[in-house]
Structure 1
């Protein structure tokens, strides 16, 4: 059962890494540090978009329209952190 606990924490860590990478890439693309027309940058960007869009679209349904500001990555990170805290505080159930 400990391995299930560790696998769940690993999945949450990978999801957090993807969200951070997507967030940083979006800023770098917005300020034209990265060019999406470059093959590698485009592949990474569109892969992250495909992975995270189902999560973000569910969060965006409940968020109010803030114009051009997208807070769904922050909400997703807060949700992941809440899940991680719940898992760690209930680690005794996995033992």
Structure 2
């Protein structure tokens, strides 16, 4: 997929697609380095399951929401693969 290419333009994706009616576009938001934790958390509650999974994989997802996602069958795998450091 082109979005995985290192030269794929990531800046501005959050501003352009955070409220797009199509979930495939909302998934692009997590690729924008400027997307903040609040936006990532909001997308983790998105109606589109693929968008929720993409947000749950993002290390910017706040820890309380990450812990909630671990208990949800459709998000548990994504939450378990989240590279955020574990709390100690």
Q: Shorter chain as normaliser: what TM range? A: under 0.3
* Structure with higher helix content: 1
Determine which structure has greater relative contact order: mean sequence separation of CA pairs < 8 Å that are 6+ residues apart, divided by chain length.
1
Q: What TM-score do the two structures reach when normalised by structure 1?
A: 0.23
Pair member with larger Rg: 1
